Structure formats: C-alpha cells, structure tokens
Chain A
Amino acid sequence: MISGLRGTLGVLAAIFWKGMKHYLRYPGSLLIYLMLPFLFTMLIFGMGRFIGGGNAALNFATRTGTSNVLVYEMLGGAVWMTSWVVVEDVGVALRDEQMKGTLEQNFLAPVNRFTLLIGISLTDIAITTAIFLVVVGATLVFTMPGAYLAFFQAFLILLIGLIPLFGLGFFFSGFVIKFKEPYIFTQMVNLIFGTLTGTYYPVTILPYWVQFLSGVLPQTYVISNMRQIILANQTLVSLYGSIFILLALAVVYPTLGYLVFKKLEKDASVTGELSKY
C-alpha cells in the first residue's frame, strides 16, 4: 500500500491529472456545464416574462427581495451545476471504470480507497471552480462590477459546500457500484437537488415538509448564503449560523458517505458484483 505524504500526494496528482485529461479530451462536457446555467436562466426568464408581463421583475422582487433576476438565478444555476458535476463525476466515475473493465486494476493498485475517492474529487474542485468563475464571474462583471469582495466570499462558501457534496458523491459511488444503472439515478438525484435546494426560487415557498428535506442538503445553504452576500450585502461573519451548519455537514457527509461506500464495496466484493453487468 502506498503510504506517506509524498506517496499519497503522488497518487492524488496522478488521479487528478487523469481526470483533467479526460475533461480536456472531451471539452464538450465542460462546455455544457458552463452553458446550462445561462440556458436554464433564459428559459425561466422567458417563461416568467410571459406569465408576469411588464410587471414580471416587480413580482419577482416582491417575492425574493431583489430585482436583480439575472444574478439571483445565475447563482442558483452555478451551484446546481457544481453539484451536478460532483454527482456525475464522483458518483459515476467508478461505474465508468467498471464499464471500461479497469475497476479491478484500480482496486488492486496499492492505493487506499479514500485516496482514490479524494483524487477524483480534486479534479472536480478544478472543474467546479472553473464553472463558478465563468458563470458567476461573467454575470457579476456585467451586472455588479464592483462586487469582487462579495464574489470572493461567495467562492469561499462554494469551497466549504463542496466538502459535504463530495461526501454525497462517495455515497453515490458505492450505490452505483452495487446497483449499476447510474444514469437514471444521477438524473433523478440532480433534479431532486435542483428542486429542493432553491436553485431558481427561495426554499421558503416550498411546503414545510419539503423545506425540512432542503435543510439537510448543503447546496441549500450555499445558494442562500451566496445570495445573501452578493445581493443583500451580508458577510461570512454575519452568516455564521448557516456557515456553522455547513461546516457540520462537511464533517457528517464525508464520514457517512465513506462508511456507506466501504460497506457497499465490501458487499459487492463478497458477492462478486464488482463486474461490469
């Protein structure tokens, strides 16, 4: 088993570059991640203009507290895309290895499973950072050019929010190895995340029991905090309550996710389910 700081860093770097090479070889998937928030926002805005007519922006401001529709929607869309990337990549990465017939080689390599999962996650930190910089950065440059400090704080929140998200990714990873058929599953999970976390609306308009489910998802806090910081002049300090919850989730989700992954992986190795089909 490769151990020690230098060995572990070498493994992480190798897995990271493997993931980056994949993205660079197929730039179309990154392009889609960058474009989807803009396209979804255009759709929602077009539908909103139709139903709200000349008062659409005013109605929106009454319900959300801001008339800046574009920034409000793009922040939600960007965070949704980051969770989409994590679910698709971390959750499906090992299934892809199964399909290519390379999962066994990966698992036989003298590398800790946790290091393997962290390595996959590192690529996603780079990709989600790119999504955030392009989607939110471009939106703010054109609509709120002086908000660079708020932008930086929002980015920090994204980084904190990625930790519990990777925990969810570990969980999905194990689930997919065990039950195969990841694509329908990830599509549903992404949609459920988009709906529950207030991607294009405040979660307060959802029924109470749904808000409870929203409250256990890290993206809900990330989106809400980003909107507070960029659109309502709040700071990381003033939002300490929800930052604390986010930090707590950052401990709980990776721990639980890894435990579930290990359990499902062990079961699969006992029953011989690590195969392709």
Chain B
Amino acid sequence: MLPVNYPSINGLNRLAVEFKAAFMKDLRSYLRYPAWLIGDLISTPLWFFFFAVGVTLFAPTTQTSEYHGFSFFFFGFIFIVLFSTTIWGVGQSVRNEQMAGTLEQFFLAPANRLTLIVGRWARIFVTDLLVVGYTTGLLYLFGGGPLPLYEPIPFTFALGLFEVGSIGFGLFFAGLTMKLKSYNTLSNLVFFGYMILTGALFPVTVIPMPFRYVSLAIPFTYFIDLMRHAALLTPTILPESLEYVTAIIVAVVMFLVGLTTFNWIEQDARIRGSIATN
C-alpha cells in the first residue's frame, strides 16, 4: 500500500485542491469565532509590552544597546510567534480533530495528510503575519520606531528554512499527540526551552557555558541566528556560508524525520486501534 503521507500519485493539481480546501476549512473555523482574532490582536502586543517593561529595569539610563535593543527583542518576539504556530498549530492539529470527533473522517478522506496539515499551517502562518504586522504598526505608533530589515532576500530565505524545519518539527509533535493524547505539559516545556535556549530573545552568548552547548545543538538556534543576521546585520555563530549550508541540511533533515515519524506513529495507531479521543 502506498504510504498516505507522501505526495499523491494524481499530481500537483490535486495537491493544490487539497491544500486550498484545508486552508479554507481552517480559515472558516478561525473566522467563526471572532474571539480568537480579537484575542490575538490584544494579547500579542501585550506579551511584548509585558516582557519589554520587565527588561527595562535592567537597561542602562543612557541608551547604548549593541544590537538595536528594541528591534532585537521584537524580532525575538516574531520568532516566538512563529514557533508557537509549530507547537500549537501544526503539532496540535491532530489533537484538535480528535477533540472535534473528526479525526477518523480526516484520516478516511482520500487526501494527502501532509497537504491537509500544511494547509492548516498556512492558515496560521498567514494570520500570524497579519498579527505581527499589526503589532509592528502599533508599536511604531507608540514610538518604537521602524523595524529595520537590512537584507530582505536572505531574511526570506532563512525564514523559509525555519518554516521547513518547523513543519517537520510540528509533524513530529502531531505524531506525538496520537501517542500521548494530552501533551500540554510537554508542549509548554518545549516552548519555554525554545524561548530560553535558542537565542530568540537574547544572544546565545548570554547563556552560561555548559548550557550554551545545548543551545548550539538545537537547529532553531541557527535559523534564528540567520534571520536576525539578515535583518539586523548581527554577527553569526558560525561563518556565514557554513551556517547557511548547515541550516539547509538541518531543515531538510528535520522535515524528513518529522514526516517519517508522523507516518510511523499513524500506522502504529491504526494497527493498535488507538486513533481515538481518549
């Protein structure tokens, strides 16, 4: 039997139709509950404000930040929003279908799993971009200044690598939800580990030495480092070209490992009959 999560034999047109259907389905669900959108619009800038005010206590009275302090944090904030898509968007998509009682229909549909999950990812990515854009505008109006983006093309490329890797990671997590069912504890710990260890909000050089090795072993550290380098011209951890090559390889490997793991867990769940809500 052809593995269900590999590209469909019926070609790209079918994939495009499936993707569009998955995207529109998720968009409709999102727009059906305006509280979600309102919540995003309020809580996203508020999280930034919450952290920013806390950090100002440590700041010198004269502004001499080495790497555009405000922009550094704001980009870190964007990286956190993007990662939350991975964990609670892609990762929890299977659990959401389980809870809604539609997972069986989802798995019985003659459609590619990957396209359906990527469709959900795409919806969240689009709404995340809208919320980030809105927050950027809001902070600009409150005197935060324009957000610099010195090298847009390398930034977009690094963002692409981040997303390929994060979809792989999300697929891995989506598989885990079939195994663990309630995985909130794990997802929260991974999320905080990401925020603290990957240099999203502060450079990895701030992290004490034994823990810095952990940071350097996490792929997301390099995606973030490259995006920030392209946006703010901060120095890279590895030599630039080597870091790009490393990031490309790691992104592809993460995607393949995530996809393979998801396939394996789904097949195992089918055999054991454990594709259920509880």
Residues of A in contact with B (beta carbons under 8 Å apart)? 26, 28-29, 31-32, 35-36, 39, 42-44, 46-53, 55-57, 59-60, 62-64, 181, 184-185, 187-188, 191-192, 194-195, 199-201, 205-206
Q: Shortest 3 CB-CB distances between A and B: which pairs?
A: A48-B58, A28-B185, A184-B39
Contact flag A191-B54 (CB < 8 Å), given A49-B206, A51-B65: no
B206 in contact with A50 (CB, 8 Å): yes
Q: Which residue of B lies closest to A72 (CB)?
A: B57
What is the distance, in angstroms, from B111's C-beta to the closest C-beta of chain A? 27
What is the distance, in angstroms, from B73's C-beta to the closest C-beta of chain A? 7
Looking at chain B's contact residues, the main secondary structure is: helix
Contact flag A43-B201 (CB < 8 Å), given A32-B188, A181-B35: yes
Q: Which residues of the other chain, A, contact B201 by a CB distance below 8 angstroms?
A: 43, 46-47
Q: Which residue of A lies closest to B191 (CB)?
A: A39
C-alpha spacing A74/B65, complex, angstroms: 26
Q: Which residues of the other chain, B, contact A59 by a CB distance below 8 angstroms?
A: 57-61
What is the distance, in angstroms, from B29's C-beta to the closest C-beta of chain A? 13
Q: Which residues of the other chain, B, contact A200 by a CB distance below 8 angstroms?
A: 50, 53-54, 57
C-alpha spacing A63/B54, complex, angstroms: 11
Q: Which residues of the other chain, B, contact A29 by a CB distance below 8 angstroms?
A: 184-185
Say if the beta carbon of B69 comes within 8 Å of chain A.
Answer: yes
B55 in contact with A48 (CB, 8 Å): yes
What is the distance, in angstroms, from B142's C-beta to the closest C-beta of chain A? 11
Most A C-beta atoms less than 10 A away, residue of B38, B59, B196, B203: B59
A49 in contact with B57 (CB, 8 Å): no
B58 in contact with A43 (CB, 8 Å): no
Residues of B in contact with A (beta carbons under 8 Å apart)? 33, 35-36, 38-39, 42-43, 46-47, 49-51, 53-61, 65, 69, 72-73, 182, 184-186, 188-189, 192, 195-196, 201-203, 206-207
Q: Which residues of the other chain, A, contact B36 by a CB distance below 8 angstroms?
A: 184
Given A32, A42, A60, which contacts B185 in the complex, CB threshold below 8 Å? A32
What is the distance, in angstroms, from A267's C-beta to the closest C-beta of chain B? 19
B58 in contact with A181 (CB, 8 Å): no
A-B contact pairs, 19 of them (CB 8 A): A28-B184, A28-B185, A31-B185, A32-B185, A35-B189, A35-B192, A48-B54, A51-B59, A56-B58, A59-B57, A59-B58, A59-B60, A60-B57, A188-B42, A195-B49, A195-B53, A201-B57, A205-B53, A205-B56
A60 in contact with B196 (CB, 8 Å): no
C-alpha spacing A60/B59, complex, angstroms: 8
What is the distance, in angstroms, from A48's C-beta to the closest C-beta of chain B? 3
C-alpha spacing A64/B35, complex, angstroms: 37
Given B53, B69, B196, B206, which contacts A206 in the complex, CB threshold below 8 Å? B53
B46 in contact with A195 (CB, 8 Å): yes
A52 in contact with B60 (CB, 8 Å): yes
What is the distance, in angstroms, from A87's C-beta to the closest C-beta of chain B? 14
What is the distance, in angstroms, from B170's C-beta to the closest C-beta of chain A? 20
Q: Which residues of the other chain, A, contact B203 by a CB distance below 8 angstroms?
A: 50
C-alpha spacing A277/B51, complex, angstroms: 36
Given A51, A52, A187, which contacts B39 in the complex, CB threshold below 8 Å? A187
C-alpha spacing A44/B51, complex, angstroms: 7
Most B C-beta atoms less than 10 A away, residue of A36, A47, A49, A194: A47
Q: Which residues of the other chain, B, contact A36 by a CB distance below 8 angstroms?
A: 188, 192
Most A C-beta atoms less than 10 A away, residue of B33, B51, B55: B55
Q: Which residues of the other chain, B, contact A48 by a CB distance below 8 angstroms?
A: 54-55, 57-59
What is the distance, in angstroms, from A245's C-beta to the closest C-beta of chain B? 24
